[in-house]
Each structure stands twice: as structure tokens, then as C-alpha cells.
Amino acid sequence: MHRMKVPRHIAIIMDGNGRWAKRQGMPRIMGHYRGAEVAEEITKACVDLGVEYLTLFAFSTENWNRPMEEVNLLFELMRDYLLKKKKDLIELGVRMRFIGRRDRLPKDLVALMKSMERDTEKCDRITLFLAVDYGGRDDIVRAVNRIIKEGFKEVDEETLSSYLDLAGVPDPDLLIRTAGEKRISNFLLWNLAYTELYFTDLCWPEFSKEELLKAIEDFSSRQRKFGRVLDE
């Protein structure tokens, strides 16, 4: 058996909450609640494994197109989660940060997000990025607009990267998407340029530490080439 290579940065598109709930004969929001528990379990597992960065897609710029009732319930769930879990996350050593737009979210949720960032600032076992009202294209457009405001006439890759939401963070080594969908859905477009992709048919509420280990095992067996020719 080969030794497991643990990714420094894992990004996850947590998909299939609604389908899972429907299969159980429950309303979609119950899938989101179960999904939040799984997110917590996976965060803990990543701390144990020594993963340095975990980025979870919680709400996309396109998710505003869902029924307003579901959108509001999702924000309610986030409020709930941030209030209830802060202490546990701090004890675990989780530094929590948010990526995405803040200008369209409920003000009180933004305030909670800020206090979470402040209160976990010194935690250093893992950095958890929660992507809320996040779109990969929006991230790039916001970066470009800030660059223009600062008077740049031209940019290079390094400059553009340094204005993105994940500035200074190594690109994800592994992207996991659950629920059988094989697309990026406007997640970290810039940062995923050389990320290894892993798809599973399991819905996010069914995902677990064991499944995470399977994904990492699969990742470990891959040869990352970054465009080069590798000697045999």
C-alpha cells in the first residue's frame, strides 16, 4: 500500500442535500440541516488529517434563483450554525473565514460572519473558508474592478491572484463534488486551474470521514504533472 498524500487544501461542492431529503420524504431544508452536520464532521476529520485549508461551497451567486423561502431558510441555518458552533470550532482550532460577496446578504448575517472571523483569528489548526454568495466569475470581476480603481494599466497572474478572495492561499489540491454532478457550477474558477477533481454519487448528507479518506486515497494515486513531462 502506498503512503497517503494528504492534500494541503481541499475544496468541496457540497451538493445533493435536496435530493437526499426528498428521498427520505422530508422537506429540502432538512437535507441542508443534515448537510451542516456533515460539514462539521468533515472539518474535524480534516483537522485530524492535517489538512491546512478547507473551502466549502455553501451558497452560490446563482442560488439566489431558488425560491426565496429556501434562500431564507438557508440563511437562517447559517445564523443558527454560527451562533451554536463558535465555541466548538474555537476549541478545535478552526480559523473561519468567508469568501464571496457581502453586499447582498442580510446585514445581521454579515455581522455574525465578521464576529466569527474576528473570534477565530488566532486559531491555527486549519483555516475553513465558507463560500457564501460566492461565484468564481464574480470573484474575478470584483478583483479586476479593485485593480482598475488602484490605477493599474496592466496585470499579470500574480497581481490578479492577489486580489481574489483566496489571495495568499495555495490553490486547492483536491476538489470533491458529491451527488453525481460533474461540473464546477461557478466555484473557484481561477484557483482550480490545476486541481485534481473527484466526484462521488453519494449526496452530501451521506458523505463521511470514510468517504473523505477514499477521496484522499484516490488523490494519492494520481500523478500531478502541471504540464510537464515526467521521467519514467
| Residues found in the chain | 232
Contact between 139 and Mg ion per CB under 5 A:
no
> What radius of gyration do the chain's Cα atoms show?
18
Q: Given 17, 63, 80, 191, which residue is catalytic? A: 63
Query: What is the rounded distance in angstroms from the CA atom of residue 216 to the CA atom of residue 4?
Result: 7
Contact between 58 and Mg ion per CB under 5 A:
no
Instruction: Identify which of residues 60 and 120 has a Cβ nearer to ligand IPE in the complex.
Output: 60
Residue of 49, 19, 51, 13 whose CA lies nearest to 34: 19
Query: What is the rounded distance in angstroms from the CA atom of residue 6 to the CA atom of residue 45?
Result: 12
Among ligand IPE, Mg ion, none, residue 89 binds (CB under 5-8 Å by kind): none
* Catalytic site includes residue 63: yes
Instruction: Identify which of residues 93 and 180 has a Cβ nearer to Mg ion in the complex.
Output: 180
**Residue 177 in contact with residue 211, Cβ under 8 Å?**
no
Instruction: Identify which of residues 126 and 203 has a Cβ nearer to Mg ion in the complex.
Output: 203
Contact between 15 and Mg ion per CB under 5 A:
yes
Helix (H, G, I), strand (E, B) or coil at 8: coil
Q: Which residues partner with 199 through β-bridges?
A: 177
Contact between 173 and Mg ion per CB under 5 A:
no
* Catalytic site includes residue 15: yes
| Segment contacting Mg ion by CB under 5 A, of 9-17, 48-56, 104-112, 168-176 | 9-17
**Residue 54 in contact with residue 123, Cβ under 8 Å?**
no
Contact between 12 and Mg ion per CB under 5 A:
no
Residues that bind Mg ion (CB under 5 A): 15
Residues acting as catalytic residues:
15, 63
